[in-house]
Amino acid sequence: MKHNLLFAGKNFIRMILLLAAVSVATFALVSASPIDPLQANVGQAALGSMSEAQKEKLRSYWGVDEPPVQRYLNWAKDALRGDFGTSLLYRQPVTSVIAVKLSNSLFLLVIAWIISGLLGFLLGVIAGVFRGRPADRLVKGYCLVIASTPAFWLALLLLLIFSVWLKVLPIGLSVPIGMEASGVTFLDRVRHAILPALTLSITGISNVALHTREKMIDIMESDYVLFAQARGEKAGSIVRRHALRNVLLPALTLQFASISEIIGGSVLVEQVFSYPGLGQAAVAAGTGSDVPLLMGITLITAAIVFLGNFIANLLYGVVDPRIRKGGRRT
Q: What is the CA radius of gyration of the chain?
A: 24
Per-residue CA distances from 231 to 55, 238, 241, 247 (Å): 83, 11, 13, 21
Q: Minimum CB separation from another protein for residue 220, in Å?
A: 10
Nearer to another protein, 217 or 283 (CB): 217
Supply the DSSP symbol for 50: S
Which residue stretch of 163-171, 198-206, 218-226, 263-271 sits at the interface with another protein (rule: CB under 8 A)? 218-226
78: left (phi > 0), else alpha (psi -120 to 50), else beta? alpha
Let me know: does 294 contact 35? Beta carbons within 8 Å.
Answer: no
Q: Which of 241, 274, 287, 327 forms a contact with another protein (CB under 8 A)?
A: 241
114 to 153: interface string for another protein, x by CB under 8 A: ----------------------------------------
Q: Which of 109, 216, 228, 297 forms a contact with another protein (CB under 8 A)?
A: 228
Q: Which of 77, 78, 103, 224 forms a contact with another protein (CB under 8 A)?
A: 224
Is 230 an interacting residue with respect to another protein (CB under 8 A)? yes
# residues near another protein by CB under 8 A: 21
Nearer to another protein, 214 or 320 (CB): 320
Q: What residues numbered 248-287 form the site for another protein, per CB under 8 A?
A: 249
Is 326 an interacting residue with respect to another protein (CB under 8 A)? yes
Q: DSSP secondary structure string, 130-177? A: TTTSHHHHHHHHHHHHHHTS-HHHHHHHHIIIIIIIS--S-SSSSS-T
Exposure string (b/e) for 53-74, b if CB count within 10 Å is 16 or more?
Answer: eeeeebeeebeeeeeeeebbee
Nearer to another protein, 14 or 133 (CB): 133
Torsion sign over Cα 106, 108, 111, 113:
negative
Is 81 an interacting residue with respect to another protein (CB under 8 A)? no
- Cα 44 from Cα 40, distance rounded (Å): 8
Q: Minimum CB separation from another protein for residue 252, in Å?
A: 13
Q: Minimum CB separation from another protein for residue 328, in Å?
A: 11
Binding site for another protein (CB under 8 A): 222-224, 226-233, 241-242, 245-246, 249, 320-322, 325-326
